[in-house]
Structure 1
Amino acid sequence: MKVAFVGKGGSGKTTLSSLFVRHLALRGLPVVAIDADINQHLGAALGMDDDRAAKIPALGAHLTEIKEYLRGDNPRIGSASTMVKTTPAGTGSRLLRLRGDDPVHALGQEVNGATLLVTGPFEDDDLGVACYHSKTGAVELYLNHLLDGPGEYAVVDMTAGADTFASGLFTRFDLMFLVAEPTRKGVGVYRQYVEYARDYDVAIRVVGNKVQSEDDVDYLREHVGDDLLVWLGQSAAVRAMEQGRSGAVLEDGNEAALGRMLAEVDAQAKDWDAFQRQAVEFHLKNARSWANRATGEDLTAQVDPEFRFPVAYAG
């Protein structure tokens, strides 16, 4: 299953995504964690020291190699330079298996039972000449070509705000967890996400964070309704983890919330035809709006109308 954690800056999105990844890994479930936030803190949240986290090869810095691998011998993609972030898989493309033996997963590092991939930080050389979408494009390509099976999880810590909607990236997930504080700003982001995702059948569940009282829960229920799945309160264990102390045990209520989140992920139905159909839809939009002009080619021709994901293999 492909899972995103989204929300406004400071909501606790990275903390919640790291707790969910830990929850999966502790149960022996195969999980790839992807840090796609402009502030690269997921490695530290998973317990990795700063020096090691800083040395993880960035997906954004290896984008050409990733494209060369994924395009395989797809005759519709002439070169890596004409492969853009929305390019969908087609006949001849190389599909990825979660934590597989391939050049993409080889860029990851193991941390506490999970494989961590990172988009890479926003560098000084990027200032004024690039946007962060050039780095999250590697994540979109990864998800477009990932054949994830039952009981396998790709968990993406997205950048804060609505950047998820800058391309078709928001349709690549089986479920999006929107982390919301019980504040006007917190629920305001929820309304924005729901509005953007309205026409695309994107599953969004709200995870309340920094909840201190029943009044906070009532506030979230009032503003997000049935989309409120669970909520987590203040946690001494999380504070200990953030301070680098080992051996912290999450409180029963917070642990139960993570279990409920996992059950909700597992309850989502896979629709591979819809997954590919939406990939094609957004690729055509991007091709016509900017990518054809940027590459000098008609990228609508990259769409393979006969391609289907091998869902029997995917489960």
Structure 2
Amino acid sequence: MRVAFVGKGGSGKTTLSALFSRHLARSGAPVLAIDGDINQHLAEALGHEGETPAAPPLGAHLPAVKEYLRGTNPRIPSAESMIKTTPPGRGSRLLRLLGDDEIHARHVRRAGGVPLMVTGEFDESDLGVACYHSKLGAVELYLGHLLDGPGEYVVVDMTAGADAFASGLFTRFDITFLVAEPTRKGVSVYRQYRDHAREFGIRIAVVGNKVSGEDDLLFLKEQVGDDLLTHLVHSPWVRAAEQGRAEGELEPHNHHALNVLREAADAHPKDWAGLQRHAVEFHLRNARAWGDKATGADLAAQVDPDFVPDPTALD
């Protein structure tokens, strides 16, 4: 299952991404965490100490990622003609989660006991000349070529706010957890996500965070209604962990909330056809808007009719 954590800046989405990833890993489930935030703090939140794990960031190696994934697909003559929404077709290299392939071997390192990939920071050389979504394009391509199986998880810490809707990346997930504090600002991003997600049939669930009492919980219920899945209370354990001195275990209520998140992620079967349908739709949108002009090619021709990247495609 592909899981995204989104929310307003400061809502705790990176902390929740790390808690959920570690919760899955400690259960023995195959899990890959991906830091897709413009502020790259997921490794630290996972409990990594010292220098950032020395895995080359996906965003800095986008041409190589494209070259590998296009494989022998005759509809994609070069990596230069491949854009972030280019869907796989016959001949493309499809990936198994944490498989024995070039992408995972080059870009995955462990942080706090969890396999981690990073998009890379938005650095000074990018200012005024680049968009962070170009770095996220590598994540979009990775997920588009990934065949994750039952009981396998990809957990992505996304950019803050509603920025994910600037590309088709938001359609790459099986469920999106929107982390919201019990404040008006905390739930403001929810309304944007709710409206966009409903248009495309995307599953979203709100996770209340930093809830300190019944008034906070009532506020969230009034604001988001049935979309409120669960909530986490103020956590001395998390604060201690952020200060590098955590001992013992996460509070029982918060541990239960993580179980609820996993149950929600597992509740629906994978819709491979739906994922491919959204991928093609956004690819054609990008082709018309800018892709054809930028590449000098007819990118609609990259779509392989009737091809669905599901586990049977590996055969």
Shorter-chain TM range is over 0.9
2:297 — aligned with what?
297
Q: 1:127-176 CA distances to partner (integer Å, 9 max, x unpaired)? A: 00001001000000000000000000000000101111111111100000
Task: Tell me which moved more, 97-106 or 131-140.
Answer: 97-106
Give TM-score scaled by structure 1 length.
Answer: 0.97
Indicate yes or no: 2:79 matched with 1:80. Answer: yes
Deviation at 1:284, TM superposition (A): 0.2
Deviation at 1:49, TM superposition (A): 1.9
Which 4+ residue blocks in structure 1 deviate beyond 3 angstroms? 310-314
2:101 — aligned with what?
102
Deviation at 1:247, TM superposition (A): 3.4
Deviation at 1:223, TM superposition (A): 0.7
Alignment of 1:208-287 (within 5 A): 208-287=208-287
Deviation at 1:313, TM superposition (A): 7.5
**1:16 aligns to what SS in structure 2?**
helix
1:5 — aligned with what?
5
On the 8 A contact 2:8/2:160 being kept in 1, the answer is yes
Indicate yes or no: 2:63 matched with 1:64. Answer: yes
Deviation at 1:246, TM superposition (A): 4.6
On the 8 A contact 2:43/2:112 being kept in 1, the answer is no
**2:6 aligns to what SS in structure 1?**
strand
C-alpha change, 1:17 and 1:296, in structure 2 (3 Å) is: same
Q: 1:254-307 CA distances to partner (integer Å, 9 max, x unpaired)? A: 000000110010002211111101100000000000011111111111000031
- d(CA) in 2 for partners of 1:251, 1:313: 43
Indicate yes or no: 2:99 matched with 1:91. Answer: no
5+ unaligned residues in a row in structure 1: which ranges? none
**2:102 aligns to what SS in structure 1?**
coil
Deviation at 1:28, TM superposition (A): 0.6
**1:151 aligns to what SS in structure 2?**
coil
Q: 1:229-248 CA distances to partner (integer Å, 9 max, x unpaired)? A: 11001111111211122534
In structure 2, what residue type is equivalent to 1:51? E
- d(CA) in 2 for partners of 1:92, 1:244: 47
Deviation at 1:312, TM superposition (A): 4.7
C-alpha change, 1:305 and 1:203, in structure 2 (3 Å) is: same
Count the aligned residue pairs: 313
Tell me the C-alpha RMSD between the 2 structures. 1.2
Deviation at 1:113, TM superposition (A): 3.5
- d(CA) in 2 for partners of 1:254, 1:90: 42
- d(CA) in 2 for partners of 1:144, 1:91: 14
Q: 1:210-234 CA distances to partner (integer Å, 9 max, x unpaired)? A: 1001110000000100110110011
1:19 — aligned with what?
19
**1:194 aligns to what SS in structure 2?**
helix
- d(CA) in 2 for partners of 1:280, 1:300: 9
On the 8 A contact 1:35/1:42 being kept in 2, the answer is yes
**1:104 aligns to what SS in structure 2?**
helix
